[in-house]
């Protein structure tokens, strides 16, 4: 299934680091640049290896439902701020491997993704009806894409309540994000990396409301 991945921002202390205590006190692996949630476990593992004495590995499950952080020795894992909810992995102690049991908020699986062709940002006229007002938005110096996501109701809630519906995101169109390259005129099936300008529609589909369609505008610098 395709995925939407949020970014962890290196300047935001709430989710820019994780810590390890190998017996001599907690040291932290801290991001130095924005990091995709989909690649964050491996990056954090590299940073922890540099900060500590053990060698660390970090990975997602094949369906991106859980993160595992492991080391060559026993350590205590510290997941400060909101990085635990972003990755679905809690702090723990006295083990050499930890696997998340929570639902990650920084990666949302979808049923399908439809990306419309780019529009020049300076000519995009987006009107949204909210709070009994009609808003017009002009997004200069960017191109914009209208993106339609089909999700389960649970994942639609996860998308709308979490970081994948605001700020910078990467929207993958296939089940194998690691092999995707960037969207372009010659690669319309590639990932779209940009900033969520707005959510323009949320619709439940079918009598049982098990599926939900979310439409958004994504600005690409």
pLDDT tens for residues 56-66?
A: 999 999 889 99
What pLDDT is attached to residue 23?
94
- Spatial distance between the Cα atoms of 42 and 12, rounded to a whole number of angstroms: 19
Two tokens, residue 55: 């060698």
**Partners of 78 in beta bridges:** 19
Instruction: Give CA torsion, residues 200, 204, 206, 208, to 10 deg.
Output: 170
Two tokens, residue 79: 């997941």
77 close to 20: Cβ distance less than 8 angstroms: yes
The parts of the chain modelled with pLDDT lower than 70 are 121-141, 206-209
What pLDDT is attached to residue 141?
62
4 close to 115: Cβ distance less than 8 angstroms: no
**Partners of 149 in beta bridges:** 113, 214
What pLDDT is attached to residue 124?
47
What pLDDT is attached to residue 212?
92
Q: How far is CA 97 from CA 15, 74, 89, 205, in A?
A: 20, 8, 11, 41
CB atoms within 10 A of CB 162: 19
Give the three-state DSSP class for 12: coil
What pLDDT is attached to residue 97?
98
What pLDDT is attached to residue 121?
61
- 0.75 surpassed by pTM: yes
- What DSSP designation does 116 have? P
Residue corresponding to tokens 């409301």: 209
- Spatial distance between the Cα atoms of 76 and 81, rounded to a whole number of angstroms: 16
* Spatial CA neighbour of 16 closest among 107, 108, 109, 106: 106
Q: Hey, where are the domains in the chain? A: 10-99, 110-220
């Amino acid at each position: 299934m395709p995925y939407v991945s949020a970014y962890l921002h290196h300047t935001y202390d709430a989710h820019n680091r994780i810590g390890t205590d190998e017996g001599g006190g907690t040291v932290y692996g801290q991001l130095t640049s924005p990091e995709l949630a989909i690649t964050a476990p491996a990056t954090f593992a590299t940073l922890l290896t540099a900060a500590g004495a053990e060698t660390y590995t970090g990975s997602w499950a094949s369906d991106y439902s859980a993160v595992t952080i492991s080391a060559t020795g026993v350590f205590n894992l510290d997941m400060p701020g909101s990085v635990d909810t972003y990755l679905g992995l809690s702090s723990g102690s006295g083990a050499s491997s930890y696997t998340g049991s929570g639902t990650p908020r920084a990666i949302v699986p979808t049923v399908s993704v439809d990306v419309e062709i780019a529009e020049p940002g300076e000519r995009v006229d987006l009107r949204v009806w909210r709070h009994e007002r009609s808003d017009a938005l002009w997004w200069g110096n960017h191109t914009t894409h209208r993106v339609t996501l089909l999700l389960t109701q649970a994942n639609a809630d996860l998308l709308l309540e979490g970081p994948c519906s605001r700020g910078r995101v990467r929207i993958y169109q296939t089940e194998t994000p690691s092999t995707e390259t960037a969207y372009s005129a010659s690669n319309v099936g590639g990932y779209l990396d940009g900033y969520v300008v707005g959510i323009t529609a949320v619709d439940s589909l079918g009598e049982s409301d098990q599926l939900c369609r979310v439409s958004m505008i994504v600005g690409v610098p």
